Structure 1
Amino acid sequence: MARYVDPLVVGRVIGDVVDLFVPSVSVTVSFASKHVNNGCDVKPSMAVDPPTVNIAGRQNDLFTLVMTDPDAPSPSEPTMREWVHWVVVNIPGGTDPSQGQEVVPYMGPRPPVGIHRYVLVLFRQKEKLPALPAPESRAGFNTRSFAARYDLGLPVATAYFNSQKEPASRRRCA
C-alpha cells in the first residue's frame, strides 16, 4: 500500500522555512503557461516577472504573501538563509497580489550555484496591516520571525519550485 508523503516535507520547506501546518486556502501560482506544482522546475528566464497568483477566499479576508529562497547563496552553505524575493500584504481574498501593498518588490530567481528552492508562503491576516518598513537587507530574512512580528500565525497555503542557473547563451562570432 502506497503512502502519501507531502512534497513540502520531502522538499524540506516544512522545517527550513515554515512549521507544519494544515493548508486551508486554495492558491494557484504560474509563470506564463507554467503552473507551479510543489518541487517543479522553473527556469530563471521564465520567472523574470512576478508569477500570477490567484488566492481563494472572501473579499473581506486579507492575506500576506512572502517569497523566499532558503538556499542562498548555495544549497550546501545557505549562509544568507532566507533571501527574501517578494512580500505583499493586505491582499483581499479572491484576488491577486496586485491588489495588495508591496513591501518588498519582486525579484526573480537568480541562483548563483546549485538548485535553489523558491518558496511562496501565504498567511491569512487577522486585521489590516499598517504600512510596513522594507527589511534593511534581502539576506537573512526569516519567514517565521516575520509572521510572529505581525501576528500572522501559521501559513494557510504554500507552494515552492526549484530553479538553477541557466547556461549562458553561446554567441557565434562572424
Structure 2
Amino acid sequence: MSRVPDPLIIGRVIGEVVDNFFPSVKITVTYNSNKQVANGHELMPALITGRPRVEIGGDDMRPSYTLIMTDPDAPSPSDPYLREHLHWMVTDIPGTTDASFGEFPRLQFRGRQTVRPPSSRDCFNTRRFSADNGLGLPVAAVYFNAQRETAARSRR
C-alpha cells in the first residue's frame, strides 16, 4: 500500500514555516463565495484580493485560535528576501467559528489580545511568533500558490 505524500510537506509549509504537527481541527478557507482553497492549488491573484471566508470546525468552543496568513517566499520564490511576509493575523477566534474576516489592510487583534503584536510584517517568523506567545503547534493549515498575472498585451 502506497502512502499519499502530505501536501504541506511537499509545499514546504511543514519544515520552512511550521514544525510537523497532527491536524486536529478542520479549517476551510473560501474566496468569492465559491472557490475553496485546497493545499497546493494555484489561485489567480485577482481571485484572492477579496475577503476570505474562514470556517474553523471543532467539537469544543473553549479553545481560541490565532489565524495567520503569511507569504513564505515573498516577494518571489527566486528571491525571498522578505521571508515570511505577514499579510494578516486574527487572534482569539472562538472554537467552532464560521466567520468572514474583512480585508486586512493592517493587523487585526480581537478579543483578549493574548498575543503580542509582531514588530514587523516583513521577515515575520510563524514558528518564532508561536513560541514567543505560547501558542504551541498548529492545529490546522491550508496553503495555496499564487503567481503574478501577466498583463494583457495590447494589439496595434
Flag structure 2 segments of 5+ consecutive residues without an equivalent: none
Check 1:103–1:133 CA distance in 2 against 1; reply closer, same or farther (3 A cut). farther
Contact 2:62 2:94 in 1 (8 A): yes
Flag structure 1 segments of 5+ consecutive residues without an equivalent: 107-127
Aligned to 2:144: 161
Q: Identify which of 70, 85, 88 aligns with 1:86.
A: 88
Cα RMSD after superposing both structures = 2.4
In 2, the alpha carbon distance for the partners of 1:103 and 1:64 equals 18
In 1, the alpha carbon distance for the partners of 2:115 and 2:100 equals 17
Contact 1:72 1:81 in 2 (8 A): yes
Contact 1:89 1:103 in 2 (8 A): no
Q: CA deviation at 1:79?
A: 1.2
Aligned to 1:7: 7
* CA shift digits 1:62-114 (9 cap, x unpaired): 10000101111221221111000110000011114558xx89448xxxxxxxx
Amino acid at match of 1:8: L
Contact 1:71 1:78 in 2 (8 A): yes
Is 1:77 aligned with 2:62? Answer: no
Contact 1:30 1:53 in 2 (8 A): yes
Is 1:31 aligned with 2:31? Answer: yes
In 1, the alpha carbon distance for the partners of 2:45 and 2:120 equals 22
Contact 2:17 2:127 in 1 (8 A): yes
Check 1:98–1:149 CA distance in 2 against 1; reply closer, same or farther (3 A cut). farther
| 2:9 match: secondary structure | helix
| 2:131 match: secondary structure | helix
Check 1:13–1:158 CA distance in 2 against 1; reply closer, same or farther (3 A cut). same
Q: TM-score, normalised by structure 1?
A: 0.76
Q: TM-score, normalised by structure 2?
A: 0.84
- Aligned counterparts, 1:85-164, within 5 A: 85-96=87-98, 98=100, 104-105=106-107, 129-130=112-113, 134-164=117-147
Is 1:52 aligned with 2:53? Answer: yes
| 2:20 match: secondary structure | coil
| Aligned length, in residue pairs | 150
| 1:5 match: secondary structure | coil
Contact 2:92 2:114 in 1 (8 A): no
Q: CA deviation at 1:134?
A: 4.2
Contact 1:103 1:133 in 2 (8 A): no
Amino acid at match of 1:37: A
Contact 1:83 1:140 in 2 (8 A): yes
- Aligned-pair identity in percent equals 50
In 2, the alpha carbon distance for the partners of 1:103 and 1:34 equals 22
Structure (1 or 2) with the greater strand fraction = 1
Contact 2:27 2:57 in 1 (8 A): yes
* CA shift digits 1:32-63 (9 cap, x unpaired): 21111100111111111221110012332210
In 1, the alpha carbon distance for the partners of 2:93 and 2:105 equals 12
